[in-house]
Amino acid sequence: MVPEHSFFPIGQIELVCGSMFSGKSEELIRRLKRAAIARQHVQVFKPATDTRSGSSHIVSHNGVKLEAREVKTATEIMGQVEDKTNVIGIDEVQFFDGSIVGVIDRLANMGKRVIVAGLDQDFRGEPFEPVPQLAAIAEYVTKVLAVCVRCGAPANRSQRISPNTDDQVVVGAAEAYEARCRRCFDPNY
Q: What is the Cα 93 distance to its own chain's centre?
A: 4
Q: Is there a contact between 98 and 133 (Cβ–Cβ < 8 Å)?
A: yes
Distance CA 10, CA 159 (A): 39
Give catalytic residue positions: 92
Q: Is there a contact between 88 and 82 (Cβ–Cβ < 8 Å)?
A: no
Q: Is there a contact between 80 and 107 (Cβ–Cβ < 8 Å)?
A: no
State the greatest distance between any 2 C-alpha atoms of the chain, in Å, as a whole number.
64
